[in-house]
Structure 1
Amino acid sequence: MNRRALYAWLILSAAAGALALLAGGRVWARLLAPTGPANPEALHDVPGADVAPVITPVVLAALAGCVAVLATKGVFRQIVGVLVAICGGAVVVGMTRVFDDVLLLESAELRGASVDVTVWPWLTGLGGVLLIVSGLWAAVSGGSWPGMSARYDRSDRRKPPSERSMWDAIDRGDDPT
Structure 2
Amino acid sequence: MTTPTGPRLGPTVVLGLAGAGLATVSSAQVWATARATEPALRSVEARGSEVAPVALPLALVALASWGAVLVLRRRGRRVVATIGLLAALGVALAVVLRAHEAPDVAASLVRGGADSVSSKETAWPWLAVAGALVSAAVSVVTLRQAGRWPEMSSRYDAPAGEAATTSPPAPEEATSADLWKAMDEGRDPTE
TM class by shorter chain equals 0.7 to 0.9
The answer for the alignment partner of 1:147 in structure 2 is: 151
How many aligned positions are there?
163
Q: Which moved more, 1:96-105 or 1:59-68?
A: 96-105
Structure 1: stretches of 5+ with no match in the other structure: 171-177
Q: Given the alignment of the two structures, is residue 61 of structure 1 paired with residue 64 of structure 2, yes or no?
A: no
Q: With structure 1 as the length reference, what TM-score do the two structures score?
A: 0.74
Q: Given the alignment of the two structures, is residue 133 of structure 1 paired with residue 134 of structure 2, yes or no?
A: no
The answer for the alignment partner of 1:21 in structure 2 is: 24
- Note the 1:11-160 alignment, pairs <5 A: 11-33=14-36, 35=37, 38-39=38-39, 42-96=42-96, 97-103=98-104, 106=107, 109=111, 113-153=117-157, 159-160=162-163
CA contact (8 A) 1:20 1:128 kept: yes
Instruction: State the AA in 2 paired with 1:136.
Output: V
Instruction: State the AA in 2 paired with 1:103.
Output: D
Task: Please report how far the alpha carbon of residue 20 of structure 1 lies from its aligned counterpart in structure 2 after TM superposition.
Answer: 1.5
- Mapped to 1, the partners of 2:145 and 2:89 lie a distance apart of 20
CA contact (8 A) 2:107 2:117 kept: yes
- Mapped to 2, the partners of 1:142 and 1:112 lie a distance apart of 56
Q: 4+ runs of 1 displaced by more than 6 Å?
A: none
Per-residue CA distance 1:13-53 (angstroms, 9 max, x = gap): 111122122222211111244x5xx4455432111121122
- Mapped to 2, the partners of 1:44 and 1:52 lie a distance apart of 17
Structure label with greater radius of gyration: 2
Identity %: 27
